[in-house]
Structure 1
Amino acid sequence: MIKSLQCSQGADYRRFMKRQSPESSATIKKQIHKRLQKRWTIRELYKEKSWKTLVKVGLQTKGLYEEYDTIKVQGQVLSVGDSVLINSGDQYDEDYVGTIKQILSIKEPTTAKLICLCRIQWYMRKSEIIKSQPKCSEWISEQELFITNHQEYILAQSIIASCKILSCSEYQELDEIESTIYFNRLEWDLQKKQFGNMDALQQFCFCFQPVNPDRQYIQCDSCKNWYHFECVGIKNGKYNQNEFYCSKCQ
């Protein structure tokens, strides 16, 4: 009976309430209002894409919240700790990248359908970084990502595919690089719009920049330092001599 009342507050509801004592009537009315409010909240939060608040509501309501170790998306089984590509929408050319930190579901009480969510730790791409740091464009690789401390919930169905995020040294050792393979070596502070551990990177060449795996380098046979082809006057990406000495060692 309560279930049917939660779906409607019309004539049947009023007749039912008249048969109750004032005390029991008030108690039942509060219970019905509370449950209706919860169900309406979940539907509205889903509609508004307010995932963080939706999770809070699910945690506060017994039987609506459940966590998982894995989830199947786009035919792939993904686990907590996996890195993934996320649909950024039609207004962006590049997909977002993040690491799954949590997998959960919230049950919509009226339909019993599960709203599957993942808590994601975000990475920033080169195209986003150079908006604030344009001078970094020369040493940031196209496949380089920058980890942030920002996490938020997304719909699991917005995940496109899994990807790999390696260290810079691991990335440099690859013979072939697929489009879903990235590397990370720096943190990015979203509030300050700056790198968090830039001093840890070794700098190369006369221009004193961190290594960019996308560019070509040549090592001096004397000082053993590495230099960009362009910075030492090597054109067309070719150097035919057996030895190379930088201008400091010549």
Structure 2
Amino acid sequence: MAKLTSGETNIDSYTIQGTENIIKVGDCVLIRPTDRRKPQYVACVEKFEKDSSNNVNVHVRLYYRPEEAAGGRREFHGANELFLSDHYDVQSADAIERKCVVHSINNYIRLQNPGANDFYCRFEYKVATGDFTPDSVAVYCKCEMPCNPDIFMMQCLKCQDWFHLACLGMTTEEADALDYFICPDCSSNTKEEVGENTLHNGNTQEPPQVPTMNPNLEKNEEMGGPENQAPDCSTQNSINNTEIPVSSAKRVMNVLNNMDCLESGSTLWCETLYLLEDPTRREIFLQMKDDASRLAWIKFRCNIEAK
């Protein structure tokens, strides 16, 4: 813990001016930016300090929005997704506007009515290196993309995987009209099984209703039962737990081969190939604006790897 200067004391909480809202250490808050054109900062309160003049400063750990991080916002990032960064800051407590909540992604999905003060986080983010923890998450559907809580999905009755309507070429109205859903890969086998059951039993049992998922999980809660739960978007105990799909190695090689500032076959070039075996780093590399930025990043990363 940092030492207090003369006249400073730690306090356990702070009441937002003009309100009765009390902010405590460990709470998440929205902080007013200096530039009003920018969105509010989301941060976790680490501690409060009060000086001899009763001015209160708040020490915070900042959350980053996807567009503020390396790689930018991608299709699977929800509107309220945040990354817990290693960026710490000190602000006047007067800049705190209100309390908010940063949920795990699974808890966020289960909210019936997420509000303006509800966010979720599934990654930690290192600002200096652009690294994410974890570096892989569960993926779903034919597109093999991580879960985006804002996008409606359906679960296959057979394989239990989840699918986007757009990837199935299906509208919301068509999905609502289904009694149950079986994905294209499972459909042929299911037809054979249904036919056999009909021959042996004379009739078939009515399949359960189609499990569906949207950000509010309204249909899931109506149906109930563990088989109708939303996809587990954590990195543990989740189906198809593979790395985030990234740009192909061919694209990386095309960029490298056209970098005049990096000699093909050189030691640094070979180190770069090794460095870019990591899919997240490949994506960061490809998202950079110019070769000068790529070269600076390569040298920085290679120096870190060498330590």
> Deviation per CA, 1:86-123, whole angstroms, max 9, x where unpaired?
0013353310000111001122xxxxx23210100110
The TM-score with structure 1 as length reference comes to 0.68
Greater fraction of residues in strand: 1
1:1-250 equivalences under 5 Å are 59-61=4-6, 64-74=7-17, 75=19, 76-107=21-52, 113-129=53-69, 132-134=70-72, 137-199=74-136, 201-236=137-172, 238-239=174-175, 240-250=177-187
Distance in 1 between the 2:128 and 2:173 partners? 39
Aligned with 1:209: secondary structure? Answer: coil
Quick check: 1:126–1:141 contact (8 Å CA) kept in 2? no
Runs of 5+ unmatched residues, structure 1: 1-54, 108-112
Distance in 2 between the 1:89 and 1:65 partners? 25
Aligned with 1:204: secondary structure? Answer: coil
The TM-score with structure 2 as length reference comes to 0.56
What displacement does 1:204 show? 0.7
How many residue pairs align between the two structures?
Answer: 183
Distance in 2 between the 1:194 and 1:211 partners? 20
> Deviation per CA, 1:99-158, whole angstroms, max 9, x where unpaired?
111001122xxxxx23210100110113323xx324x52111111111012211110000
Distance in 2 between the 1:151 and 1:249 partners? 49
Quick check: 1:164–1:182 contact (8 Å CA) kept in 2? yes
Distance in 2 between the 1:159 and 1:197 partners? 30
Distance in 1 between the 2:16 and 2:112 partners? 29
**116 and 170 in structure 1: CA distance in 2 versus 1, 3 angstrom threshold:** same
Distance in 2 between the 1:194 and 1:125 partners? 14
Distance in 2 between the 1:187 and 1:227 partners? 27
Distance in 1 between the 2:68 and 2:37 partners? 11
Percent sequence identity over matched residues? 25
**238 and 195 in structure 1: CA distance in 2 versus 1, 3 angstrom threshold:** farther
| Larger Rg belongs to | 1
Which 4+ runs in 1 deviate beyond 6 A?
none
Runs of 5+ unmatched residues, structure 2: 188-307
What displacement does 1:66 show? 0.7
Distance in 2 between the 1:93 and 1:237 partners? 38
